[in-house]
Structure 1
Amino acid sequence: MGYVLKYHCFLLSAMVLLPAWCYSQDFICSRATYYGSPDCLGTPNGACGFGEYGRTVNDANVAGVARLWKNGTGCGACYQVRCTEPQLCSDDGVNVVATDYGEGDNTDFILSPSAYGSLATEDKSDELFDYGVVDIEYRRIPCRFAGYNNLMVKVHENSNHPHYLAIVVLYVAGQNEIEAVDILQEDYNEWRPMRRAYGAVFDMENPPRGRIILRFRVRGSMGQTWVVANNAIPSDWKAGAAYDTQIQLS
């Protein structure tokens, strides 16, 4: 498997998306391809703003999506993807995390080489890479991250304490999506909305001084709700640091 990935990591498909709408039980039919990079991982400058997290999370089984990206709300969503070529594809396929935007040839997924190779049975991955684009079916599944039970926020490297704060929302578990983020202005007892800068990155000029209290508008299997993190970010926050919100989403 390692040799196959090294050989195919430099190939790249980037064409126009024309989504398929075909349903098989609770799966949706589409197509998938894979991207190439010298180290077989994605770019740290992906459209979701995840940085290294977007390259390595989920054992590097990640994907770029277009229609499912949903202006960034779809960043971090998890999917089961399986190809449909007889005698070539495994029964379960692979579980992937959407960490970037990407358009392909009638595809909904541009998979990392690791994820694409995992679509095949153990001895057929080389043949699968030769296809380049394959028919698939996929479904949304709950996200689960080994060792991470709580929602995390990372202070983006471009932040400048105390004048500018940008955060990246990480480890959104279950089938939930973060639609909005607010900061509490405690002296006025008022919630101020952060701007979705791009992907999973939210920012604000001149954030409140002191500890940062956040609330997240979450949409998931239970509908839409606001969830408050009273100690999301300490008063002495630093660019590049990640903080545990103590919020569990399922």
Structure 2
Amino acid sequence: MTLLALELLIMAAPDCKGNSVRGACGYGEFGRDINDGEVSGVSSRLWKNGAGCGACYQVRCKIPPHCNEEGVYVVATDYGEGDGTDFIFSPKAYGRMARPGPEFQLYSFGVVDVEYQRVPCRYGGYNLVYKIHEKSYNPHYLAVLILYVGGVNDILAVEFWQEDCKGVETHEKSVWSGS
């Protein structure tokens, strides 16, 4: 297992889940609840101009007296640059890196050294799950939000088929639309 070293920053949220409706991946409230709220904003290096939305990572902090050995499994749901870090975790995900008991001691560090690796996403047997975006109310416009992509895969292009195949464009990074 190859792990890359970096630092991690915690994001503030009153309910310990990730960013709400304004998350850069366009997931809306779903982005707070995916993976039971264990989500992360990612830096431009992992963001990949939006192709990194929905990517899954195993992240372990490197403070042995405070951190568990397994780390935490997070899903990228937002873009964020912070203090030279590659991840900005929800408080819930940040606390899951701690050994049982000293979570609050780990929170006091704020920015911590971590190691991580990209891992296959686990979505209960689904390879691809999408939903029709709420902006698709015009009969000549369709927008699809890609929610789950199984494995270690990034979606770089999408085509819709009606009578012929049409390439579509992305806006809001994980929302693909066309008319």
Band of TM-score, shorter chain: over 0.9
Q: Does 1:110 align with 2:88?
A: yes
CA distance in 2, matches of 1:87, 1:185: 58
Please list every run of 5 or more consecutive structure 1 residues that lacks an aligned counterpart in the other structure.
1-24, 206-250
> How many residue pairs are counted as aligned between the two chains?
177
Which residue of structure 1 lines up, in the alignment, with residue 38 of structure 2?
A: 61
Which residue of structure 2 lines up, in the alignment, with residue 132 of structure 1?
A: 110
CA distance in 2, matches of 1:40, 1:127: 16
Length-normalised TM-score, structure 1: 0.68
Match of 1:36 among 12, 16, 20: 12
Alpha-carbon shift at residue 88 of structure 1 (Å): 1.0
Please list every run of 5 or more consecutive structure 2 residues that lacks an aligned counterpart in the other structure.
none
Moved more, 73-82 or 37-46: 37-46
Amino acid at match of 1:191: C
Q: Secondary structure at the match of 2:35?
A: helix
Which residue of structure 2 lines up, in the alignment, with residue 156 of structure 1?
A: 133
Which residue of structure 1 lines up, in the alignment, with residue 121 of structure 2?
A: 143
Amino acid at match of 1:166: A
Deviation digits for residues 191-236 of structure 1 (CA, Å, limit 9, x no counterpart): 211111122111112xxxxxxxxxxxxxxxxxxxxxxxxxxxxxxx
Q: Secondary structure at the match of 2:171?
A: strand
The alignment yields a C-alpha RMSD, in angstroms, of 1.3
Residues 6-25 of structure 1: pairs in structure 2 closer than 5 A: none
Amino acid at match of 1:193: G
Alpha-carbon shift at residue 176 of structure 1 (Å): 0.9
Amino acid at match of 2:157: A
Q: What percentage of aligned pairs have identical amino acids? A: 50
Q: Secondary structure at the match of 1:178?
A: coil
Q: Does 1:51 align with 2:48?
A: no
Match of 1:199 among 159, 162, 173: 173
Q: Secondary structure at the match of 1:135?
A: strand
Deviation digits for residues 161-206 of structure 1 (CA, Å, limit 9, x no counterpart): 31221110011110011111011241xxx3211111122111112x
Q: Does 1:27 align with 2:3?
A: yes
Deviation digits for residues 133-171 of structure 1 (CA, Å, limit 9, x no counterpart): 00000000000023x524121111112231221110011
CA distance in 2, matches of 1:157, 1:90: 40
Amino acid at match of 1:181: V
Q: Secondary structure at the match of 1:144?
A: coil
Deviation digits for residues 23-78 of structure 1 (CA, Å, limit 9, x no counterpart): xx510101111111222222122100111221011111000001201011010000
- Structure with the bigger RCO (C-alpha within 8 Å, sep 6+) is 2
Amino acid at match of 1:198: E
CA distance in 1, matches of 2:68, 2:15: 25
